[in-house]
Structures are given as structure tokens and as C-alpha cells.
Chains A and B, each alone.
Chain A
Amino acid sequence: MQAGTLSKYLKSGAIWGFIVFELIFFSVAGEFLSVSDKAFMDADNMLLLFKQSAPIGIIAMGMTIVMVNGNIDLSVGATYALAAIVMLDSMTWSIFEGMGDAVIFVAWGLALLTGVVLGAINGIIVWKTGVDAFIVTLGAMLGYRGLVFMYNGEQPTSHLNWTLVDFAEAQFLGLHTPTWFLLIVTAAIWFLMNRTVHGRNAYAIGNNREAAVNAGIRVGPHMMINFMIIGFLAALSAVVFYSESGSVNPNDGELYELWVITAVVLGGTKLTGGAGSIISTFGGVVAIQLLRKGLAHVGADTSTVNLVIGLILIAVLFLDRQLNVKGKEELKV
């Protein structure tokens, strides 16, 4: 066994170990502390957990590929809000009057298009100007949020379509619609990253950009496509969530980038790019949602959730570093 195999095994399995730990901990702690009589590992509770993971989880898949590619996207929360507004508002536009429920598909299409376009804007700026993705999407986070406010001022945008609500609340084979979306997106992105040339090249670019360039891989288009995908997924997340809720506030989606990045980092994606697994990201998403639900189950309030998640993120980083220390003789710089 080569050195480092153990640490790698630990790392790839760590997120699942953590999930198991959470399940046991909250089940046991729930016995003593729970504010409700229900067991934590109740089937309904778990189904709900997946459903609630969907909005963050769908975006996290996109974030994984952008981060594997060596970039980051801080504008997903704003993209999410803008796509939601486009979807809800477009259903009331007079040109679509008389379409009946077919308007739903138009609205979805427009919302998804919005996401793709916003992602493409980020992508093309990163590609053509060479400005770091962190700065580009930090700017876009402000800019896109500005667009959200300009759309409808500080008023919420609402439109309830009952067909839509029924669809979003439906259960198929026991799983809720959002859960299905999350699973399908996870499968699709896993396929994209592991089975297609685009996916493998994205890994290569994030791993060793110079080598990729020397091998003739065109870095720009790959980055652009990945930004479009995350834009699309942010919009899809909005479509899934707001089909049910029917009302969006201009502040919605704020701090989503934090949650999403936390899930991705918990899943073990390297900050510098080149390494990361879609399945582990899925684990990261579930772990976070489990933590939120678990803490609520034992009676802790939202403030504790924030505290714990922040500290866990740091602890993961610390553990990761400890596992990668090469030994005492390492150069101390």
C-alpha cells in the first residue's frame, strides 16, 4: 500500500462517515432533547430532508464543476432570485394570455434562459478579459442583485399557479418533485464530468492549466460552458423552488453561495481546482441539510446552525490540511 492511500481513503469516505455520525448523534440526542415525539430517522422526515436539500443541492452540482475547473461563482444567489422573478412574472404577461397552463413551459424556458445568459455573461468576461472569476462573480453578485431590485423595486413578485403547485408538491415513487430534480441533475452532471470529453478537459484545466493549454485544450470555451451550466442550474433551482412557493422577495437567495460552497468544500472539492467528485458533493449537500434538521430536531435554533456550519467548514479545512502534511522534515515556508 502506497503512502497516502489511507488518507485518500479517509478523505473520499469522510463525508459519508460524517453523515452516519450525524444520523446516530441526532437520533440519540433526539431521544433526550427532542422537542417533538417523532424519531429523527423517521421516513417522512428523511424524504422531507431530500426535498429541502434540492435548492442548494442543484446549485452545488454546478458549483462543483466550476470549482473543479479552477473558478468560483459567487453570483448564484442573485441569478437564482432573478430567474425566479422572470418565471413568476412572465406567467402574467399579456402576450402569453390565453395559453392556459402551457404558459408554464414558456415561463420555465424564460427562467432557465435567464440563468444561462447570466452565466454566459460571467463566463465571457472571465474568458475574454482574464479577470479572476472571484472578482468577476463578486461584481456580478452585486450587479445581478441590482437587476433583481430594478425589476420590481423592493416589492415581492408573486404569482400562484395551482397546476404548478400541484406538480411541485407531487410525489412520485415516494419522492417529491424537487428530490427528483436533484437526483436527475446529480446523475446528469456526474455523467458530464466523468463520461464526456468536456468533463475530463474541465478536470485537466483545473488540475494543470498550462499542461492543458500546451495539449491544445481550449480553456476559454470550457470555462464559459461551465459558467453557463451553473447559471442554468441556479435557474433550475429557482424553478423547482418557486413553482411551489409562488412568491419571491428581492432578497431571496442571499448567502446561497455560502451554503453551496460549504457543501462543495465539505464534499472534498479542491479549492485550487482539478479534483472533486459530484457524488461527494451530493454527500456534502445531504450532510448540511441533515445538520440543519438535526439541530432543529434537538431544539437548537437557527443561530446555532450558522455557528456549527461555519465551524465545521473550518474544521474540515483543518483536517484536510493535517492529512496532507508530508512529515516533519517539510520545508517551513
Chain B
Amino acid sequence: MARLTKKDIGGFLARQGILVAFALFIIGFTIANERFLDPDNIMGVIRSSAILGVMALGVTFVVISGNLDLSVGSMMSFSTIVVLDLHDKIGPAMAIPAMFAMTLALGAFIGFLVAYLKLNSLIVTLGMLSAIHGLTLTYSGGKNMDIADKEGTWFSVFGQGDIMGISVPILIFLLLAAFLGVLLAKTPFGRKVYSVGGNGTAATFSGVRRARVVFSCYLISAFCVATAGLLQASRSLGSQNTVGQGLELEVLAAVILGGASLLGGSGTIFKTVIGVLILGFITNGLLLVGLEFYVQFVVTWVIIILAVWLDIAAKRGKLWSPIA
């Protein structure tokens, strides 16, 4: 009875397809360029993916709860600009908590609109993308922001430092991933996030306070954005006010690549991390084989569609859609 049926293979691909694809990529690039698997190179990839990754962790919560967050890119620009500006005004020790508080306030505003006023999250966050962009431009007066004394500040430790040979951004990314992964997979809150995204009505009928859960997801997303802003500011110690522009899409791509359904109710932090790394390794691999960075856009496009397609094809048991 243990014969492997077509359905089993389909099911396996649906569940683990993303890991299979990941393995194939690594093998392919390793054959093409032996430097690909060099530890330094791997660390480099993870480090450069850390900012995107941190944001993707938060968006994973929002997506599993059945919503979208397209405002994370412009919110990250905001955080970066604010913390750089406040660094010189009130010092880094005060600037960081102040920036977190302001970013969380934005997240709370979005969460309030989506969770309590029950407005469509796509449009709300699209509107906030624009509004926060405007806010950032107003705040910065349209100018780039730079720290005056780039040599003399300990602020650079978050983006550039090392602890026991591991760079701090990687450490922050992995610690946050571990913490949020456990929160999502092992706690009552995480369970409620899945139930709200899986069937919001049934969750309400089970006494889950849906609005609270969705609101919390946006706060988590904002916290992750603030962290990403901190990493970005600390790495460059100066920034354009459009630094996060377009990141929301790459973040969403990573989350979808990790297998989270935009309908909500499915996805994990671990898979999102894999999705982030796949994006990072593709970029890196393409650069190593001598292609321009923008080729990754095209490759990402193909991969996203293939990944989602295979996922739903396995679920419906048919490759092609039943649409007449």
C-alpha cells in the first residue's frame, strides 16, 4: 500500500516545493560558480538580506491574519529618516526608542483602520504608502539625512558591528525570526492569528477577539519595520528619504515565495525566512555568474508565479485552472 501515487508527489511538492526549489538553486549556482558556497559569500548574502528579512517577518503575521501591508516600504524610509535626524538632536540612546514609538504609532493607526473600522487592508495600506511617504518628505524637508559625526558614534553597531564573528544584522534577524517563529507557532496568540486568517467568522464565533488579533499583527509588522529602519540607518549612517521605496513588493514576494497564502491562514516564519534567503541567493547567484542585478527581477517574477501555481495546483489536484 505504500506505493507513491501521483497525489503523494503532488502533496509533497506542495508542502516542500519551496525547499526543493531552494536546493536546486543552490546546486545550480554552485556548479556555475564555486565561490557561491563560500562561507563568506553565504554570510554576505544573509547580511544583505537582513533588512528585507526583518520586514518580511512582520508582514508574515499580517498576511497569515488574512490582510496585506503595502506600507512597510515607505514606513521603513520614515523610521530611517527619523532615527537619523533624532540621533544628532537627542542622541542615539533616546533616538531609538523615540523612533520605535513613532513607527508603532503609525502601525497602530493602520491596525485601527483595518481591524476596528474593518476597512480593506489593500487600499488602506496603499493609501498609507502614499501618506507616510508624504510624511517622511515633510519631516525631512525633502532633503537627505546624515549623521554629523559618522566616526564617533556607537550607533553604527547595529548595522556594521560584529559579535563573536557574526555580524549584528544577521544576529538581529535570526533572533527576531526565532522569537516571532515561536510566538506564531507555539503560543495561543499565534493560534489565534491562524484562526482569524483561516476563517474570521468562525474565529469570532469561537470567542477570538478578531480585531485585537489583527491590530496586534500590524503592531508586530510596525515593530519589524522599525527594526529594519534601525539596521538601515545604522549601516549607512545617512540616507535618502526614499530608501525603502518598492521594498513592500520584495517583502511580499518573499512571504509569498515562502508559501503563505494571500487569503490568510497559512504560512510560517521558517518558510518566510527561506523565501527571503531564496531571493537573496538568487540576486547573489546572478551577480556571481556575471548578470546585472536587475535580471533578478525577471527571475523573481518567474519563480513567484511558478511557486504559487504549483502550490494551488497541488491543492486542487490539477495543473491547469478550471476557469472556462
Any A–B CB pair closer than 8 Å: yes
Q: Which residues of A contact B (CB under 8 A)?
A: 125, 127-132, 134-136, 138-147, 149-150, 153, 213, 218-220, 223, 254, 258, 261-262, 265, 271, 301-314, 317-318, 321, 332-333
What's the least CB distance linking A278 to chain B, in Å? 20
- Whether B126 lies near A304 (C-beta < 8 A) is no
Give the complex CA separation of A100 and B33 in angstroms: 49
Is B178 interfacial (CB 8 A cutoff)? no
* Given known A-B contacts A150-B298, A308-B134, A139 and B126 have beta carbons under 8 A apart: no
> Which partner residue on chain A sits nearest B68 by CB separation?
A134
> What bracket does the count of chain B residues touching chain A fall in?
35 or more
- Whether B312 lies near A130 (C-beta < 8 A) is yes
Q: List 16 A-B contacts (CB under 8 A).
A: A128-B323, A130-B321, A135-B308, A138-B256, A149-B294, A213-B324, A219-B324, A223-B323, A261-B126, A265-B123, A302-B137, A308-B134, A313-B130, A314-B119, A317-B123, A321-B118
What's the least CB distance linking A266 to chain B, in Å? 11
Is B252 interfacial (CB 8 A cutoff)? yes
Chain B 303-321 interface residues, beta-carbon cutoff 8 Å to A: 304-305, 308-309, 312-313, 316, 320-321
Chain A residues with Cβ under 8 A from B135's Cβ? 303, 307
- Whether B123 lies near A143 (C-beta < 8 A) is no
Choice from B130, B204, B302 contacting A307 with Cβ under 8 Å:
B130
- Whether A143 lies near B301 (C-beta < 8 A) is yes
What's the least CB distance linking B142 to chain A, in Å? 7
- Whether B128 lies near A314 (C-beta < 8 A) is yes
Chain B residues with Cβ under 8 A from A147's Cβ? 298
Give the complex CA separation of A333 and B171 in angstroms: 41
Choice from A128, A271, A312, A332 contacting B122 with Cβ under 8 Å:
A271
- Whether B323 lies near A219 (C-beta < 8 A) is yes
What's the least CB distance linking A247 to chain B, in Å? 19
Chain A residues with Cβ under 8 A from B201's Cβ? 333
What's the least CB distance linking B296 to chain A, in Å? 7
Give the complex CA separation of A311 and B304 in angstroms: 31
Given A142-B249, A258-B126, A306-B137, 14 other A-B residues pairs in contact with their CB atoms under 8 A: A129-B305, A129-B312, A132-B262, A141-B249, A150-B292, A150-B294, A303-B136, A307-B134, A310-B131, A310-B134, A313-B127, A317-B119, A321-B117, A333-B205
Chain B residues with Cβ under 8 A from A135's Cβ? 256, 262, 304-305, 308
What's the least CB distance linking B318 to chain A, in Å? 9
Tell me the total A-B contact number using a CB cutoff of 8 A. 170
- Whether B246 lies near A254 (C-beta < 8 A) is yes
Q: Which residues of B contact A (CB under 8 A)?
A: 113, 117-120, 122-124, 126-138, 142, 200-201, 204-205, 245-246, 249-250, 252-253, 256, 262, 292, 294-302, 304-305, 308-309, 312-313, 316, 320-324
> Which partner residue on chain A sits nearest B305 by CB separation?
A139
Choice from A254, A305, A313 contacting B126 with Cβ under 8 Å:
A313
- Whether B302 lies near A143 (C-beta < 8 A) is yes
Choice from B128, B131, B297, B324 contacting A143 with Cβ under 8 Å:
B297
Choice from B133, B295, B323 contacting A146 with Cβ under 8 Å:
B295
Give the complex CA separation of A220 and B324 in angstroms: 6
* Given known A-B contacts A131-B312, A146-B295, A258 and B256 have beta carbons under 8 A apart: no
* Given known A-B contacts A134-B262, A317-B124, A258 and B130 have beta carbons under 8 A apart: yes
What's the least CB distance linking A308 to chain B, in Å? 7
- Whether A139 lies near B120 (C-beta < 8 A) is no
Choice from A131, A254, A318 contacting B305 with Cβ under 8 Å:
A131
* Given known A-B contacts A146-B294, A314-B124, A128 and B321 have beta carbons under 8 A apart: yes
Secondary structure call for the B interface: helix
Choice from A142, A258, A308, A321 contacting B301 with Cβ under 8 Å:
A142
- Whether A310 lies near B292 (C-beta < 8 A) is no
> Which partner residue on chain A sits nearest B321 by CB separation?
A130
Give the complex CA separation of A135 and B308 in angstroms: 8
> Which partner residue on chain A sits nearest B301 by CB separation?
A143
> Which partner residue on chain A sits nearest B136 by CB separation?
A303
Chain B residues with Cβ under 8 A from A129's Cβ? 305, 309, 312-313, 320-321
What's the least CB distance linking A17 to chain B, in Å? 20
- Whether B117 lies near A318 (C-beta < 8 A) is yes
What's the least CB distance linking B214 to chain A, in Å? 13
> Which partner residue on chain B sits nearest A250 by CB separation?
B294
Give the complex CA separation of A305 and B200 in angstroms: 36
Choice from A136, A213, A271, A314 contacting B113 with Cβ under 8 Å:
A314
* Given known A-B contacts A313-B127, A314-B127, A333-B200, A138 and B137 have beta carbons under 8 A apart: no
Give the complex CA separation of A105 and B299 in angstroms: 33
Give the complex CA separation of A301 and B142 in angstroms: 9
Chain A residues with Cβ under 8 A from B322's Cβ? 130
Chain A residues with Cβ under 8 A from B296's Cβ? 146
Chain A residues with Cβ under 8 A from B113's Cβ? 314, 318
Chain A residues with Cβ under 8 A from B308's Cβ? 131-132, 135
Best-buried of A147, A302, A304, A307 by chain B (most CB within 10 Å): A307
> Which partner residue on chain B sits nearest A259 by CB separation?
B130
> Which partner residue on chain B sits nearest A301 by CB separation?
B142
> Which partner residue on chain A sits nearest B296 by CB separation?
A146
Chain B residues with Cβ under 8 A from A301's Cβ? 137, 142
- Whether A310 lies near B127 (C-beta < 8 A) is yes
- Whether A138 lies near B249 (C-beta < 8 A) is yes
> Which partner residue on chain B sits nearest A127 by CB separation?
B323
Give the complex CA separation of A48 and B10 in angstroms: 57
